[in-house]
A and B are shown apart, each in its own frame.
Chain A
Amino acid sequence: MSFFSPVSRNRVSNFITFLPFFVVLIVSTSALAQQRVSRQFPAGKNVRLELKNLSGTITVESWARDEIKITATMEAPAVHFNPRQTATGLIIDIVGDNRDRGDVGDVNFKVQVPTRSSLDLETRSGQITVSNVQGDLLRAHVSTSGDITLSGISAARVFASNTTGNIYFDGDFASGGTYEFKSGRGTITLRLPANCGFHLVATAPAEKIKMGEFWHNGLKKMGEGRRIIGDVGDGRASVTIMNYQGDINFLRR
């Protein structure tokens, strides 16, 4: 017994024959809808990059060249993308370039910079990932949701903040440096070398600050365990952490 008449069977077999073509066509159309732009800019060794995105990921990594390479993958081909070179570095302002243009979709950035670069990165939503950068300043700000991952970092000033999402920092604290981490809801994790020295002011809901192997009796708990304050090691770097709802974890490298 057959479920299909001979005519129907013919149509089904035709459909199966052309199905792969339809699939390839749909995939290639969606790939064409995304636009990828890649540009390279000459830069000195101590360069500053400012990137202000509306929505999308920002991935920055260092490389051994005195150049900045930007690869932007845009969801909507009509996004305006006009990097501007300054005396000290490069400015990319997707927010300013697309003002009053409504929703322009995600723009995902992959950026390669010289190792000693200062970075000022900002997005309304989306992840920020920075690895192996050793400049003077590193600022990563996600105004709503998005994880921030900073690894292999050695900078005198680090500021990382989001409203929802985790913040992970793996790096060194310079003597006299300033380090601030702030999240609304998410886990803030700091992975530091054992000989790290800093003055700490950490604030989170009660019993959510876990100092791990950095704990010692000289640290003071305040506000029913919602704040830990005191020096670790020589206490020369200044570390301020605030988490409204999530945990704060210290890990020893």
Chain B
Amino acid sequence: MNCEKYQDLLSDFIDGSLASQDQKSIEAHLSACGVCTEVRGDLDAIVTYCYEHRGEYDAVPNERALWLRISNLIEAELPPGSRTEIPQNAGWWFRLMNRSLQVSLPQLAASMIAVAIIVSVATTIGLSRFGSGGESTGLRSSGLTTVAPNGQPLVERYRQQQQTIDYWNQRVELNKTRWNPQMRETFERNLGVIDAAVNDSLSQLNQNPHDEVSEEILNAALNDKVELLREFAEL
């Protein structure tokens, strides 16, 4: 067997799915061949990386289009004679589908990144419009889709803040029984002040969804609430 044959078997070798005779043969070859050992190392790293990052990537939005692009790439690699001849009277779709594209690896990577960005932007917009959860009803009912000072849509930011608040609230409730009455009173009174600010700004935003001042007060008050809850959750 030459190096090419050994390299064809490397994937199965790494998976451990080869017959013991082939396994031994490859092991013997690898101990003597530096090139194949290097290829094996690369393949090993790729497999390990894929295994460690399994499930981190979302499915490609349009699988068919992607496979078409890949087949175009493969076709571009083939010798000119093997390419499909396009008849003179072929339709635009046939021409488009049978066009050979010369795409380099960086170009392919760039197009994949572009696809990923478009998908994430579409998802964010979709979530902010149709997202689930009842916490942001106050804002959504006002039709507010403006952007908070940090660049996030306000509804999304409010929803995230509310999740954080819920988390710390649960922690506070667990610890509250240990507090003395004075501490409990101080906490309730000050939380009431912040809640009043939150409610005031929400009510202002319901009347005027583009009220910048109320947006900032809401943002500041929610941050203060998280801070207060976090501090008292540690007591």
A interface residues (Cβ-Cβ under 8 A, vs B): 102-103, 124-125, 143-145, 163-164, 182, 184-185, 203, 205, 222-223, 226-227, 242, 244-245
Least CB distance, A141 to chain B, in whole angstroms: 10
7 CB < 8 A contacts A-B: A102-B178, A125-B186, A163-B193, A164-B190, A184-B190, A203-B213, A222-B213
User: In the assembled complex, which residues on chain B have CB atoms less than 8 Å from the CB atom of A222?
Assistant: 212-213
* With contact pairs A145-B186, A185-B193, A244-B197 given, residues A163 and B212 touching in the complex (Cβ less than 8 Å): no
User: In the assembled complex, which residues on chain B have CB atoms less than 8 Å from the CB atom of A143?
Assistant: 190, 227-228, 231
User: In the assembled complex, which residues on chain A have CB atoms less than 8 Å from the CB atom of B194?
Assistant: 163, 184, 244
Docked Cα-Cα span, A188 to B190, in Å, equals: 17
Question: Cβ of B196 < 8 Å from any Cβ of A?
Answer: yes
Contact with A along B179-206 (1 / 0, CB 8 A): 1100100110110011011001000000
Contact with A along B54-84 (1 / 0, CB 8 A): 0000000000000000000000000000000
Size of interface on B: residues with Cβ below 8 Å to A: 25
Let me know if B214 and A163 touch, CB within 8 A. no
User: In the assembled complex, which residues on chain B have CB atoms less than 8 Å from the CB atom of A164?
Assistant: 189-190, 193
Known A163-B194, A245-B193, A245-B197; 15 more pairs at CB < 8 Å: A103-B179, A143-B227, A143-B228, A144-B228, A145-B189, A164-B190, A182-B220, A184-B194, A185-B193, A203-B217, A244-B193, A244-B200, A244-B217, A244-B221, A245-B196
Question: Cβ of B27 < 8 Å from any Cβ of A?
Answer: no
Let me know if B196 and A244 touch, CB within 8 A. yes
| In-complex Cβ contact of A163 among B211, B216, B224 (8 A) | B224
Let me know if B227 and A223 touch, CB within 8 A. no
Docked Cα-Cα span, A116 to B17, in Å, equals: 74
Q: Determine the residue in chain B with the shortest Cβ distance to A105.
A: B180
User: In the assembled complex, which residues on chain B have CB atoms less than 8 Å from the CB atom of A125?
Assistant: 186
User: In the assembled complex, which residues on chain B have CB atoms less than 8 Å from the CB atom of A103?
Assistant: 179-180, 183
Q: Determine the residue in chain B with the shortest Cβ distance to A102.
A: B178
* With contact pairs A145-B190, A163-B190 given, residues A124 and B196 touching in the complex (Cβ less than 8 Å): no
Let me know if B196 and A163 touch, CB within 8 A. no
Let me know if A144 and B190 touch, CB within 8 A. yes
Least CB distance, A167 to chain B, in whole angstroms: 14
Least CB distance, B133 to chain A, in whole angstroms: 26
| In-complex Cβ contact of A144 among B186, B200, B221 (8 A) | B186
Q: Determine the residue in chain B with the shortest Cβ distance to A54.
A: B235
User: In the assembled complex, which residues on chain A have CB atoms less than 8 Å from the CB atom of B228?
Assistant: 143-144, 163
| In-complex Cβ contact of B217 among A144, A145, A185, A242 (8 A) | A242
User: In the assembled complex, which residues on chain B have CB atoms less than 8 Å from the CB atom of A226?
Assistant: 213
User: In the assembled complex, which residues on chain A have CB atoms less than 8 Å from the CB atom of B211?
Assistant: 223
Docked Cα-Cα span, A125 to B231, in Å, equals: 12
Docked Cα-Cα span, A140 to B99, in Å, equals: 69
Docked Cα-Cα span, A102 to B234, in Å, equals: 11
Most chain B CB within 10 A, of A144, A164, A203, A222, is at A144
Least CB distance, B152 to chain A, in whole angstroms: 20
Let me know if A144 and B187 touch, CB within 8 A. yes
User: Which 7 A-B residue pairs are closest in the complex by CB-CB distance?
Assistant: A223-B213, A244-B197, A184-B193, A163-B190, A144-B190, A185-B193, A227-B213
User: In the assembled complex, which residues on chain B have CB atoms less than 8 Å from the CB atom of A223?
Assistant: 211-214
User: In the assembled complex, which residues on chain B have CB atoms less than 8 Å from the CB atom of A205?
Assistant: 200
Docked Cα-Cα span, A245 to B197, in Å, equals: 7
User: In the assembled complex, which residues on chain A have CB atoms less than 8 Å from the CB atom of B231?
Assistant: 124, 143
Docked Cα-Cα span, A222 to B196, in Å, equals: 21
Least CB distance, B204 to chain A, in whole angstroms: 8
User: In the assembled complex, which residues on chain B have CB atoms less than 8 Å from the CB atom of A227?
Assistant: 213
User: In the assembled complex, which residues on chain A have CB atoms less than 8 Å from the CB atom of B189?
Assistant: 144-145, 164
Q: Determine the residue in chain A with the shortest Cβ distance to B201.
A: A244
Q: Determine the residue in chain A with the shortest Cβ distance to B221.
A: A244
User: In the assembled complex, which residues on chain A have CB atoms less than 8 Å from the CB atom of B221?
Assistant: 244
Let me know if B220 and A242 touch, CB within 8 A. yes
Most chain A CB within 10 A, of B186, B189, B216, B228, is at B186
Least CB distance, A124 to chain B, in whole angstroms: 7
Q: Determine the residue in chain A with the shortest Cβ distance to B193.
A: A184
Least CB distance, B168 to chain A, in whole angstroms: 14
Q: Determine the residue in chain B with the shortest Cβ distance to A125.
A: B186
Most chain B CB within 10 A, of A143, A205, A245, is at A143
Least CB distance, B213 to chain A, in whole angstroms: 3
Let me know if B197 and A184 touch, CB within 8 A. yes
User: In the assembled complex, which residues on chain A have CB atoms less than 8 Å from the CB atom of B220?
Assistant: 182, 242
